[in-house]
Structure 1
């Protein structure tokens, strides 16, 4: 058995090395390499989360920092290996607690931007099925996170009410994805927001803090492309709910949705201006693709190949952005649907 394990370890190491070298010149190899690194980082940080939660539980009032430590660890590990640098504007708004943070939800990569912005004293509302996930479920329970049964309206209403009391008592910030499903959009936009988060905000009279990550389809499309690079996140000023009633839910939702969409569009306009500046000063030779993280290290050793492949990749991205959206897949961090939202 020992010899077999040794051979498997050797074969795995050689395969990983070959994949890393191939990632310098192949987008497909880079997709598989970075997907592997991302999943490994999640596994490592889930294990760390259990350790963090147990240790912090021994210190009164500190266990609610578990998510913060796990988030920062994930950003440090995955962000370095894949090559992401995330800049945040408006980070001072994250100090408002208790509050309800609402972020746009594009794909599984959103966990990375949460790793960059998640503040101390914060919890997540997740579907109850995550409790059964090895390590992930354990550290989330130990960290005081809220779990919701999206199949039971009565249970969802009760969870919402208990979560509000829990937040006020411990001065916590709660993070939710109001779209409820990963959008996988190739262009800036949001899926229709669900009402659960807005009912909760009004019931608790807590401010809403919108968090917007720019559209990153050019870097990650969940199927063929997974590249590192620069990402921007904006934390918008808090939207107060004091004095609002259930009759104001729709107006509150529209206000948050409009602000988030406007910021997504502004991010995209910034990219358009940058592209226009580059087009105004063309080069005689196409620029080679920039490779980041572990793949970037391999690229410095063996190069990135012909620049024409980079031009072809850009054309593929352009074609994606003209393709209608496919079917959305349920998110691991979905919210209660509008039909399940509390009625008053």
Structure 2
């Protein structure tokens, strides 16, 4: 028996030694702590991506493909959240059960994946650029989870994909998650970039409500050289109806939604203490989470169609048709919903 215990305990002791050393160094060096925690986050993301492919295969076979994102997102949150010591308090979570809606959230850094893991709704999907369909693992996972792939270089195909997504939302009760800022933006003061209009055109076309979701500004927890523990607030605002709206209302709808979300962001965000600003480490080579190229954003909303194109019909268009036509004449290919690698 003692031999068996020795056989088991010694390997565990050797394996735990690096973890203890890293823990010791993390407690004494903010930079080491940052890198250790960042590596933990990215490693967990990598492992869960493999899990996502396995889940997508099984749930597709069960006829639950539109719940794949929900299961994988929750899995990531329940694994990575405790590892990093980051938790969320959610207000208005009852609005996340809104059937068939366009959910829009503020986009700060790659840490947004963690807050998505906490609240991503069931029966929800994403729209992604066509190139990702062939990405190893990611493309297969997205295809199995019901993602709508869009060719940004072909405006006709983009319009068709938009119409198809709207029809699917109405017929199957599917929702869509979008970051309307189009790229990540993080700063000490809570703020939002201007909104792209693709998500709003889609909501109007499908006649589904828009549900704004705001995560507080977490610059104090995650910025260059810093990744700390803490509790963050998420506030889900009441659904904004789009029934009877047309493409002519999209600009005002987007602006009104942004103003509401910006005010909420300021209300729920914790003021950054002066000592936190002064104590920010300044390593020579640290990945910058605050701002990344647009092609690397998680969900990127881009213009749907080239400017100046229009359609003509003998019959008066319906509200849904007017929205599609409006997006065709007004938008460009920089307002599409695009999902990219984190």
TM-score range, shorter chain: 0.7 to 0.9
- Confirm whether residue 123 of structure 1 aligns to residue 125 of structure 2: yes
Q: Which residue number corresponds to residue 180 of structure 2?
A: 178
Q: Which residue number corresponds to residue 27 of structure 1?
A: 30
Q: Which residue number corresponds to residue 299 of structure 2?
A: 333
Contact residue 194 and residue 338 of structure 1 kept, 8 A: no
CA distance in 1, matches of 2:122, 2:80: 20
Q: TM-score, normalised by structure 1?
A: 0.77
Of the three residues 85, 101, 111, the one matched with 1:109 is 111
Contact residue 225 and residue 281 of structure 2 kept, 8 A: no
Q: Which residue number corresponds to residue 56 of structure 1?
A: 59
Structure 2: give runs of 5+ residues left out of the alignment: 1-12, 283-289, 308-326, 330-342
1:101-130 per-position Cα deviation (integer Å, ceiling 9, x unaligned): 000100111010000001111112233333
The alpha-carbon distance between structure 1 residues 340 and 37, as it changes in their structure 2 partners (threshold 3 A), is farther
Where in structure 2 are the equivalents of 1:31-180 lying within 5 Å?
31-60=34-63, 62-180=64-182
Aligned Cα RMSD in Å? 2.7
Work out which structure has the larger RCO, using CA pairs closer than 8 Å and 6 or more positions apart in sequence: 1
The alpha-carbon distance between structure 1 residues 338 and 214, as it changes in their structure 2 partners (threshold 3 A), is farther
CA distance in 2, matches of 1:126, 1:37: 27
The Cα of 1:204 is off from its aligned counterpart by 0.8
Q: TM-score, normalised by structure 2?
A: 0.78
Q: Which residue number corresponds to residue 314 of structure 2?
A: none
The Cα of 1:94 is off from its aligned counterpart by 0.9
CA distance in 2, matches of 1:122, 1:213: 19
SS at match of 1:343: helix
Contact residue 127 and residue 332 of structure 1 kept, 8 A: no
SS at match of 1:108: coil
Structure 1: give runs of 5+ residues left out of the alignment: 1-9, 276-310, 320-325
SS at match of 1:102: strand
Contact residue 109 and residue 185 of structure 2 kept, 8 A: yes
CA distance in 1, matches of 2:153, 2:17: 46
The Cα of 1:148 is off from its aligned counterpart by 2.8
